[in-house]
């Protein structure tokens, strides 16, 4: 079944009332296209697949910032040095990922289509809480592969115009079984996340400016790279820097490479005098 007959007309399934979920539509009519749900043969575990490592998010005065390092690993090897782990989901939402790179990229693309499909069918965008719930459902659909070693752990950040002033930047974390948890202030996922969260616990405070939030994110990723070999810090020689994006009332914006480079070099220079990073504000 292709969904289109020999005369080029759409199949009956496109005109049958159903869910506003594009994922559920595929599951019902073209399940083979859902690569995130394929189960490996019994007894087989995925070993050596590329893994993305550390991503984080924190709120600031105008919204929320989401960032990620660029390294992907295969066991003890560096598989890629410039992986993109932060992606816009729609105008006011972004998703970053840690875990199995191939599945994660498929999940991100499917999630982008999921949000667009819902808006076209319903005529209105999802609320941010509904977007988080929909992503949790999609993660749960990958549970079989996660149990075989192909886990994807995303991080969702968005600007919620319905939230009270000062709290419109929101962050959601997930577990491999599709559990959804709202995080307040900051959060990190991936192999370097314990170190990144420790740095953010020290550096975060309500009402940060965009620049202060970006520097805090870079400091946290630097600390993660300092203690986790799978996390890559700023690579000044190759000019590879973390991806830093912000979401505000004006929408999603990735910080220009020139600005990320400037902030990274400033942060590395500060580390020459203080290798352990800045002290917490008192």
4's tokens:
């289109």
Neighbours of 227 (CB within 10 A): 12
Handedness of CA 162, 165, 167, 168 (dihedral sign): positive
Long-range contacts of 251-255 (CB under 8 A, 24+ apart): 251/91, 251/92, 251/159, 252/88, 252/90, 252/91, 252/92, 252/93, 252/94, 254/86, 255/214
Question: What is d(CA 226, CA 48) in angstroms, rounded to the nearest whole number?
Answer: 23
Taking the C-alpha atoms of residue 134 and residue 126, their distance in angstroms, rounded to an integer, is: 9
Distance, CA of 152 to CA of 51 (rounded, Å): 9
Contacts for 115-122: CB closer than 8 Å, 24+ residues apart: 115/89, 115/90, 116/90, 117/20, 117/21, 117/22, 117/25, 118/20, 118/21, 118/22, 119/90, 121/20, 122/20
Query: Would you name the residues annotated as active-site residues?
Result: 53
| Crossing angle of helices 210-227 and 193-203, rounded to 10° | 140
**For residues 250 and 263, what is the distance between their CA atoms, to the nearest angstrom?**
23
């Amino acid at each position: 079944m292709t969904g289109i007959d020999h005369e080029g007309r759409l199949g009956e399934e496109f005109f049958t009332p159903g869910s506003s979920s594009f994922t559920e539509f595929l599951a019902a009519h073209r399940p083979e296209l859902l690569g995130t749900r394929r189960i490996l043969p019994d007894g087989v575990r995925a070993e050596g697949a590329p893994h993305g490592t550390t991503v984080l998010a924190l709120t600031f005065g105008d919204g929320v910032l989401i960032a990620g390092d660029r390294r992907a690993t295969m066991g003890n090897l560096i598989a890629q040095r410039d992986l993109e782990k932060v992606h816009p989901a729609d105008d006011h939402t972004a998703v970053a990922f840690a875990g199995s790179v191939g599945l994660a990229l498929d999940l991100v693309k499917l999630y982008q289509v999921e949000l667009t499909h819902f808006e076209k069918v319903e005529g209105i965008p999802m609320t941010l809480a509904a977007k988080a719930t929909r992503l949790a459902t999609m993660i749960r659909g990958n549970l079989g592969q996660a149990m075989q070693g192909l886990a994807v752990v995303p991080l969702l950040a968005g600007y919620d115009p319905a939230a009270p002033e000062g709290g419109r930047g929101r962050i959601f974390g997930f577990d491999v079984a599709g559990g959804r948890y709202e995080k307040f202030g900051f959060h990190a996922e991936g192999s370097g996340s314990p170190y990144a969260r420790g740095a953010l616990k020290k550096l975060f405070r309500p009402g940060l400016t965009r620049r202060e939030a970006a520097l805090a994110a870079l400091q946290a990723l630097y600390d993660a790279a300092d203690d986790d070999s799978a996390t890559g810090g700023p690579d000044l020689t190759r000019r590879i820097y973390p991806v830093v994006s912000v979401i505000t009332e004006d929408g999603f914006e990735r910080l220009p490479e020139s600005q990320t480079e400037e902030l990274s070099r400033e942060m590395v220079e500060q580390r020459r005098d203080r290798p352990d990073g800045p002290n917490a504000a008192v």
